[in-house]
A and B are shown apart, each in its own frame.
Chain A
Amino acid sequence: MTATPAKAPEPAAPPAPGPGPTSRPAKTPHGHRRLLTRRDRITLGLMAGVPTILHVTLVWLTALASIALAFTTWDGIGFGSIKWVGLQNFRELFTSNPQFWPAVEHNVIWFVVLILLPTPFGLFLAVQLDKKIRFSRVYQTAFFLPVVMSLAVIGFVWQLIYNPDTGLINSLIGANKPGHYIDWIGDPDLNLWAVLVAASWRHAGYMMILYLAGLKGVDPALREASALDGASEWQTFKNVIFPTLRPTNTVVLVVTIIEALRAFDLVFVFNKGAQGTELLSILVTNNIIGESSRIGYGSAIAVVLLVISLAVIIPYLIATFRKERRA
């Protein structure tokens, strides 16, 4: 904190007896120790205070406000129209909203698919690239490229591929004629999987980079030792390398859960969460944004999403802190 510019001596501070300003915090003969000048304290106060205020108002207050709003109805016009309705929003959500349970289900499917397909595939790619094969930089870049792009852009790109009339797939296999028509975007049995292919395409690259970083941290001596013991490549991986990737696996699990819960942009661009691709995040948006919005109802959905997130995050945090305390 002493890095604050222009440390003009405070008038109240006793004159420094030492040769230079570096001796400023030195003990004065009597009186208390002055670690910080008033200016330092103001600076510190601003540096800690402004972000705290921003954080509290933009994160905590809004989160608490939306929890409170979940028990009301509000069309977003003036504060006078907020009406307390108790649990009615939730009752309605759980019993009469035909999109709610599919949305929960799709969020779960999203997670299961991401953890079962692209994550192991990303690990596979990372292991291969770690072997320092030729052109490994090129492959690495190719697989990582989708991660750099925004999911919204990926949505546009895949729409060109899936468009049932003029898209790449249907044009190639001739499935855009009446009679044998594949509706990748509109068919509820297909569209979620179509979107998941696009999401996995990106997720694999993401996982690859995480695992690649983890693999770089594996002590080469371990590999050497297992090679000396005559272990095959698979045995080495299974019994030596993979167990050492434990911390990486935790990160991967958390990242994948977060990806599944915040899934939104790709689907929103793809078909706005219509038939078959409903997601909680999209239901929140559809109810809150608009010319006469149902802010209370949308907040109730957001609260459900928050509860699900907490159910995942809290055990993780508890486990992490416990480990730290033990260490």
Chain B
Amino acid sequence: MHDLSPSGVSLPAPSRRTVLRGVGGAALLGAGIPLLSACGGSGSSADPKTVSLGSNSSDAVPKKAFAEIYAAFTKKSGLKVDVNTKDHNTFQEQINSYLQGTPDDVFTWFAGYRMQFFASKKLATPIDDVWQKIGGNFPEAMQKLSKGADGKYYFVPLYTYPWAVFYRKSVFAQRGYKVPTTWDDFTALCKRMQKDGLVPIAFGDKDAWPAMGTFDQINFRTNGYDFHVELMAGKASWTDPKVRKVFDHWTELLPYHQEGAVGRTWQDAAQTLVAKKAGMYLLGTFVGQQFTDKADLDDLDFFAFPEIDPQFGQDTVEAPTDGFMLSKAPKNHDGAVKLLEYLGTPEAEQIYLKADSSVVAASTKADTSSYTALQKKSYEMISGAKSLTQFMDRDSRPDFTSTVMQPALQNFIRNPKNIDSILSSIERQKKTIFASS
């Protein structure tokens, strides 16, 4: 969660406000009192011509892409968007106190349980009025993703991206590999790659979240979407034989994974795919960011995680979705609604996608003609899916996934033989966490 990336430096010229926020954040880290940072609130008084927006897009590419959307909005509506960018990970860590203090009118966030959590805590304003205008722009799966547990809308999705198995076309062509669609094909391919001196599956779990993606894929291929939802919501038991089956499959696959995963970042693992030392890599499409050479990027392709149980086929796609929410008491409610309506238009999505080609539009109305081959394929995969999942830490309680699941999965990767004790330990801890609130 806290990759100390240099992106934190890419803040705009620090206004007094961002400096104050920073001080609040430092106090939070230092003293561990989240309430302190609530003082670092917005200093601007309500200006009917301005909408303030808190953003976690601290990386250069998305930051610029968003800035272009806001500029287009200002041109159209005459309303200024006052953007407050914070380092991506810091934003996530402080979201709790940020939303309880004096947050910006609109803020960037993720779909799924994480959105519903803040909605149910009344830290966000429902935006059914916005959805009356933008509803037609989105497929049903996206509409479902944007609703809180109370059935009201709280979220405007902007873009999404699928998780899949990535590979180099040239490597597959040169060695005559075929894209596997079933589990047996998949393991056979892994075996062949190993014989050919390749690392079959690149893997880096130093940041502890990539392994959750592998778990999700094997889980909903083995047990289906409904079980995924039940398990993530804390309803199904982790000692259920169904979960055990997921880990049995994973254990079968582990010897084909890159050695020493717990000490490697996903970026380093991606480099082995770039260097053609690894045959495949299970990750989100953002893996493309590591392909800095255009020719290499054109060589990148992916396929859906192979079928395990024919009953479920490949009908579920993991597609984390990012977008916007309205804070609990926006200073400029009308302006914020206008901004959200604009963000829900295909036009806004197209502006974003022009600058960031690693993701696809959440809206079905957005123009796909300028998509790269990878984007087109991602789009088809998502629009053809029967069910969309988010990601383990977006579909479940983040405190459960970060304090229990992340270390447990790292433990499993190190010692797959310990799986029974790991699972009963997860179940024990899950019960207390889900019972607490």
Q: Which residues of A contact B (CB under 8 A)?
A: 58, 62, 66, 73, 75-78, 81, 83, 88, 92, 96-99, 163-166, 178, 181-188, 191, 268-269, 271-272, 274-275, 284-296, 298, 302
- Answer whether A98 and B407 are a contact pair too, CB < 8 Å, given A78-B100, A185-B262: yes
B binding-site residues for A, Cβ under 8 Å:
1-2, 4, 28-29, 31-34, 92-93, 95-97, 100, 114, 117, 121, 123, 199, 205-208, 258-264, 268, 271-272, 397-399, 402-403, 407-408, 410-411, 414, 422, 425, 428-429, 432-433, 436-437
Q: Which residue of B lies closest to A95 (CB)?
A: B428
How many A-B pairs have beta carbons closer than 8 Å: the answer is: 136
A188 lies within 8 A of B414 (CB)? yes
User: What residues of B have a CB within 8 angstroms of the CB of A274 in the complex?
Assistant: 206, 208, 262, 407, 410
**Contact indicator A183/B436 (Cβ below 8 Å):** no
CB within 8 Å for A275 and B403 given contacts A164-B263, A183-B260, A292-B117 = no
Chain B: which residue is nearest A166 at the CB level?
B268
Using known A-B contacts A272-B208, A284-B32, A286-B402, determine if residue A164 contacts B260 with beta carbons closer than 8 Å: yes
Residues of B within 8 A of A181 (CB): 259-260
User: Residue among A166, A178, A184 with the most chain B CB within 10 A?
Assistant: A178
Within 8 Å CB of A182, what residues of B? 260
CA distance A75 to B121 in the complex (A): 10
The answer to whether A75 touches B437 (Cβ under 8 A) is: yes
The binding surface of chain A is classed by DSSP as loop
**Given A290-B398, A291-B95, A293-B399, A187 contacting B260 (CB threshold 8 A):** yes
Task: State the CA gap A268–B4 with chains docked (Å).
Answer: 10
Inter-chain contact A291/B264, CB cutoff 8 Å? no
Which chain A residue has the least Cβ–Cβ distance from B410?
A: A275
Q: Which residue of A lies closest to B411 (CB)?
A: A275
Bound state CA distance, A285 and B93, in angstroms?
11
Inter-chain CA distance A187–B92, complex, in Å, is 28
A9 vs B22: C-alpha distance when bound (angstroms): 45
Distance (whole angstroms) from the CB of A84 to the closest CB of chain B: 12
Query: Are B437 and A178 in touch, CB under 8 angstroms?
Result: no
> Please, which residues of chain A bring their CB within 8 A of the CB of B206?
185-186, 271, 274
Provide a sorted-by-A list of 25 A–B residue pairs whose CB atoms are within 8 angstroms: A58-B31, A75-B436, A76-B97, A77-B121, A77-B123, A83-B437, A88-B432, A98-B411, A164-B263, A178-B258, A186-B206, A187-B262, A187-B263, A191-B263, A272-B208, A274-B208, A275-B411, A275-B414, A284-B32, A285-B32, A287-B399, A289-B34, A290-B1, A290-B402, A292-B398
